[in-house]
Amino acid sequence: MKKSALRIFAAATLGLALLAGCSTVNTVEPANPQARPNRVDDKRIITDSDLNDIAYVQNVYETTVSGNLKRVQVTIRNLTSTVKNVNYKFTWFDGQGIVVDSPMSLYQSVSIEGGASLPLTSTAPNPKAVDFKLELLGSVRR
Amino acid sequence: MKTSPLFLAVLPALLLAGCGSPPNSAQYVDPNGPRTIVSLNQIDIQDFNGAAATMTQSLLNSGVLEKAPTQPAVMAISRITNDTGQQFDTDYLIKNIRVALNNSGKVVTTTTTGLGGKAEDPLARDAGNMQAFMQGQPAPSRIPYYSLSGKILASTAKADDIYQRTYTFQLSLTEIASGNAVWEDQKQITKQGKQPAVGF
């Protein structure tokens, strides 16, 4: 009697997990990639440890585009087994540490599958923008 | 230590309030923040802003703006077609792109040359012509190097009681001298759900 109850519980849990979208991504990539990215040392301030599982920052790369504009790529990985929504915003600063206002600085939403990694990119609004900050925020939907 | 049942009952409400529950009365929200209303049947302000930001970055990353012989390159705005069935001014998209490109120092937009010969700023064109006339010079040449055109499309799908709406923003940058599109991109925004929501 106890065994059958346990089986029903396990089946129900599995069903719920499947309904909730518990599936993770498998990936394949070159074992020896040819790319030699310019890695940036980063400083992280974690105020939401749950979000750090949903959007764990794997690496930060930097390059230059259009002659004199900095471009950064922050790759995040969803360490959980369910699809999640993450909001993010890049802000750029000039050489004096003052924010560079731009219509390109705004919160955007991305959906990231369980176990998947996702590159978030931003291009500096002008050549004076030298530093950036990435804000990550969980879903605020009501 | 004993926890009061009243405290346990009030705790969820306190937590919700602390995390910014939706207002009953009107309040200001950041149009570039994550707490705007997400509609299913229309393009929201954050959709225009997001599409404009993504496509501006794509254009800057492409490097084509560097190829114009004079810097910053002069760009004219051509036809931006709204094929969505929703009524809106396409400047919700285009103005953001213009501002960002202008701020980048790579492009300036002409306001005296427009679609069908119409100037966005007729006073500036007339004043320029008058100034040239008074100085005994021909009217100034206002041929831009680039022209920006595009289209906004919408498609809808439904399964059971879930609606899905996809908005496609398409833009092309044409080099006027050659007539070739030297940069093209599109950005799609898909929204899915049963009803509008506050925040994303």
CA distances from B194 to A95, B41, B155 (A): 47, 11, 16
| Strand order, beta sheet including A84-94 | A108-112, A84-94, A129-138
> Chain A closest CA to B134's CA: distance in Å?
38
Encoded amino acid at A10, one letter: A
Q: Spell out which chain B residues touch chain A, with contact meaning CB-CB distance below 8 angstroms.
A: 19-22, 32-35, 38, 46, 49-50, 52-54, 56-57, 60-63, 65-66, 96-97, 99-100, 103-106, 197-200
Q: Which residue has the higher pLDDT, B15 or B160?
A: B160
Token pair belonging to A31: 């074992």
Q: Which of residues 50-89 of A touch B (CB under 8 A)?
A: 65-67, 69, 71, 85, 87, 89
ipTM of the complex: 0.84
Is residue B116 very low, low, confident or very high in pLDDT (cuts 50, 70, 90)? Answer: confident
Closest CB from A65, A105, A121 relative to B63 = A65
Look at the block and give the residue holding tokens 């790529």.
A73
Cα dihedral: B43, B49, B54, B59 (round 10): 110
Is residue A109 very low, low, confident or very high in pLDDT (cuts 50, 70, 90)? Answer: very high
In whole angstroms, what is the distance from residue A51 CA to residue A22 CA?
Answer: 17
* Contact between A126 and B104 using a beta-carbon 8 Å cutoff: yes
In whole angstroms, what is the distance from residue B56 CA to residue B43 CA?
Answer: 19
Interface residue A107 vs chain B (CB under 8 A): yes
Is residue B130 very low, low, confident or very high in pLDDT (cuts 50, 70, 90)? Answer: confident
Q: b/e map of B113-146 (b: 16 or more CB within 10 Å)?
A: bbeeeebeeeeebeebeeeeeeeeeeeeeeebbb
Residues of B in contact with A139 (CB under 8 A): 199-200
**Is the confidence at residue B1, as pLDDT, over 70?**
no
B146-170 mean pLDDT: 96
- pLDDT reported for residue A13: 54
Cis upstream peptide for A37 (omega within 30°)? no
In whole angstroms, what is the distance from residue B91 CA to residue B80 CA?
Answer: 9
- pLDDT reported for residue A3: 59
In whole angstroms, what is the distance from residue A100 CA to residue A131 CA?
Answer: 10
Is residue B14 very low, low, confident or very high in pLDDT (cuts 50, 70, 90)? Answer: low
Q: Which residue has the higher pLDDT, B196 or B13?
A: B196
DSSP, collapsed to helix, strand or coil, labels residue A130 as: strand
Q: Which of A14-18, B97-101, B140-144 has the highest mean pLDDT?
A: B97-101
**Is the confidence at residue A10, as pLDDT, over 60?**
no
Is residue B23 very low, low, confident or very high in pLDDT (cuts 50, 70, 90)? Answer: low
Locate the domains of chain B by residue range: 43-151+166-188
Residue pair A72/A122 in contact by the 8 Å Cβ criterion: yes
Range of weakest confidence among A15-19, B5-9, B79-83, B93-97: A15-19
Q: Which residue has the higher pLDDT, B124 or A3?
A: B124
**Is the confidence at residue B50, as pLDDT, over 50?**
yes
> Which of the residues B35, B54, B60 would you substitute to probe the A interface, choosing the one with the greatest number of A C-beta atoms within 10 Å?
B60
> Chain B closest CA to A91's CA: distance in Å?
12
Residues of A in contact with B197 (CB under 8 A): 141-142
Is residue B11 very low, low, confident or very high in pLDDT (cuts 50, 70, 90)? Answer: low
Nearest chain A residue to B49 by CA distance is: A103
- pLDDT reported for residue A1: 47
Residues of A in contact with B35 (CB under 8 A): 140
**Is the confidence at residue B151, as pLDDT, over 80?**
yes
Is residue B118 very low, low, confident or very high in pLDDT (cuts 50, 70, 90)? Answer: confident
3-state secondary structure A11-73: HHHHHHHHHCCECECCCCCCCCCCCCCEECCCCCCCCCHHHHHHCEEEEEEEEEECCCEEEEE
Nearest chain B residue to A86 by CA distance is: B200
Is residue B9 very low, low, confident or very high in pLDDT (cuts 50, 70, 90)? Answer: low
Range of weakest confidence among A65-79, A126-140, B125-139: B125-139
**A118 burial level (CB within 10 Å; 0-12, 13-18, 19+):** middle
> Which of the residues A108, A120, A135 would you substitute to probe the B interface, choosing the one with the greatest number of B C-beta atoms within 10 Å?
A108
**Is the confidence at residue A5, as pLDDT, over 70?**
no
Q: B43-151+166-188 in CATH: which number?
A: 3.40.50
* Contact between A67 and B63 using a beta-carbon 8 Å cutoff: yes
